[in-house]
Amino acid sequence: MGNDGRDGSQPRVPLLLDVDTGIDDALALLYAAASPEAELVAVTALHGNAPVEDTERNTRAVLELAGCEVEVAGGRGAPLLRPLETTPETHGPHGLGYATLPEPAGQRSARYGPDVMVDAARRRPGELTLVTLGPLTNLAVAVLAEPRLPSLLHRWIAMAGAFRVPGNTTPVSEWNIHCDPEAARIALGAWQTAVDADEAQPRAMIMGLDVTEGARLLPTHLDLLAAGGRGPVTDFASDALRFYFEFHARYDGFYGAFVHDPFVVAAALDPALVRTEPASVDVDASHGPGDGQTIADWRHTTGRRPNADVVVAADAEVFLARLVERVGGLAAARSR
């Protein structure tokens, strides 16, 4: 059990992370490991930025780099209905850019990622915050196995979608949704069913490109992160981010990187970083021009209860300062 705050300290937030560990997922894992208010309960991995064999290994390796011992379970290796897509041009051939890490020493979990989600939620009903940072395939499988999952979790927070801005994969679609729109529809549909049945059901929180692209990590941030001295964590971050910076220089016109995933973890730990608007959210899975689009009913024209709080503004500067401070502190501690 996590600290409940009765000793006067800040209560810890029990987190389940679901990742497709590429470069920004790796930063998210380091951020969670460096955050004193985070209780990392388990991590599940799946296809996305790289094949699941790579993302599961990357996750274990990054957590070992951070000195964080937690169960890591591999999950779904492909979308529910569509062919597997990965992004070696964005995250490198195995997901970590130019960085290499030793083969993880710890044993991989024998359990299946969606089963870990369900089992953890059943053991601690109403306590756990699930943060999904990749495609929603693991979550869709979990909610099909346990339809009560929305009510068993404290909350689900997702890095997903593009609402009032263009997509980053198609003109309308963000990568995580693009990879498996059918899974996204199942997950969002489960939360819609839950809120329709019970108005007290906590809505999902969705952070899309509208706000995550406001957090640009630049070489100056990396210099500040390494101010405490070079070591394994800073060497890893430098090598991984150099690949990411080069990608953004080619495609987005600046030498730096959007750091979507750690921003979402930061918001899960401190909701004061963001401002949200409620909406009923669905996903287009038509295979047409709108395929993968996240559709928010901003004017409530459908008459459905909102199933999500969509993040419409976020304090990127506070987040970036916190990222530098926390990961930099972890790097200094791990280099001693």
Half-sphere exposure of 209 (CA within 13 A, CB side): 20
Backbone angles phi, psi at 48, to 5 degrees: 155, -105
Map tokens 């990608």 to a residue. 247
Q: Is 260 a catalytic residue?
A: yes
**Alpha-carbon distance 38 to 172, whole Å?**
33
Catalytic residue among 47, 94, 260, 300: 260
Provide the residue count of the chain.
336
Phi-psi region of 201 (alpha: psi -120 to 50; beta: other; left: phi over 0): beta
User: Which DSSP category does 230 fall into?
Assistant: -
Q: What is the DSSP string of 52-107?
A: HHHHHHHHHHHHHHTT----EEE--SS-SSS-----HHHH-TTSSTT---PPP-SP
Pull the structure tokens for residue 116.
């870990």
Q: Which residue numbers are catalytic? A: 260
